[in-house]
Amino acid sequence: MGLFLYLNSILKLMIQELKNSYGHLFENELLEEINQVGTFKEIPQDFTLIEIGEYIKSMPLLISGAIKVLREDNDGDELLLYFLERGDTCAMTLSCCLGQTKSEIRAIAELDTKLVMIPIQKMEEWTGKYRTWRNFVFESYHNRLMEMLETIDNIAFMKMDERLLKYLNDKVKVTKEHMLHITHQEIAYDLHTSRVVISRLLKSLEKLKKIKLHRNNIEIL
């Protein structure tokens, strides 16, 4: 009986979280369905959700936290593509689910993250059944396309110092903290450059009073 009450309270919790994040998008009937078939998950920071080459069997709806999406080339060189936040889903996942193809990206929890996993059969069914779901999926594709465009703008048109500053500001937005817990090497991986280059540019940003450097931490002013 204790277990029943416990599980029951988790379910109630989940529908409440769903309503908070997706209540303005979906009708109650759909929220109920999501609640029925979805699996609530809490992901710790730095946990790898999806690895390149993996097949994907379900899609995530973000409740809280943030996920960073990375691209990697054949030599193992990385590049940060974008962050997913509350109310987002992963269009790559959608894409891969529908096409039954392997993941082209890696997804890592940037923060402790709560999400609901939806089995792919359902998401196909819902695109026919719910107009709101369809619009959500389209909007999600749209957002991801726009973010990919932004990434292209960054690497094609901006120099490394500008990219670095934008990267730091994006991190502030996502983590909601001005003191970033990150090493120069980690930044270098995300921006696909070398640690020495990042150290150099960070130093010059510090001289411009835009940031303050500490060990394992960077303070954004």
Partner DNA sequence: TAGAATATGTAACCTTTGTTACAGCTTATC
Partner DNA sequence: GATAAGCTGTAACAAAGGTTACATATTCTA
178/171 Cα distance (integer angstroms): 9
Query: Which tokens belong to 54?
Result: 């993996």
Which range of residues in 35-43, 111-119, 142-150, 200-208 is near DNA by CB under 7 A? 200-208
User: What is the full DSSP assignment across 76-129?
Assistant: --EEEEEEE-TT-B-HHHHHHHHHT-B-SSEEEESS-EEEEEEEHHHHHHHHHH
Tell me whether residue 92 or residue 115 sits nearer to a copy of itself (CB atom). 92
Among 73, 76, 159, 176, the residue binding DNA under the rule CB under 7 A is 159
Q: What is the Cα 64 distance to its own chain's centre? A: 10
- Residue 176 beta carbon to DNA: minimum distance, rounded to whole angstroms: 21
Considering CB distances under 5 to 8 angstroms, the limit depending on partner class, which of a copy of itself, DNA, none binds residue 185?
DNA
Considering CB distances under 5 to 8 angstroms, the limit depending on partner class, which of DNA, a copy of itself, none binds residue 193?
DNA
Give the side-chain half-sphere CA count within 13 A for 87.
11
Q: Considering CB under 8 A, how many residues would be counted as binding a copy of itself? A: 36
E strands, the chain, are 39-43, 48-50, 58-64, 67-72, 78-84, 106-109, 113-119, 179-181, 211-214, 217-220
Q: Which of residues 114-173 bind a copy of itself (CB under 8 A)?
A: 127-128, 131, 134-135, 137-139, 141-142, 144-146, 148-149, 151-153, 155-157
Q: Is 202 in the site for DNA (CB under 7 A)?
A: yes
Tell me whether residue 129 or residue 192 sits nearer to DNA (CB atom). 192
Q: Is 151 in the site for DNA (CB under 7 A)?
A: no
Q: Is 146 in a helix, a strand, or coil?
A: helix
- Residue 177 beta carbon to DNA: minimum distance, rounded to whole angstroms: 16
Helix 160-175 crosses helix 195-207 at what angle (to 10 degrees)? 80
| Chain residues in the site for DNA (CB under 7 A) | 159-161, 183-185, 192-197, 199-203, 213, 215-217
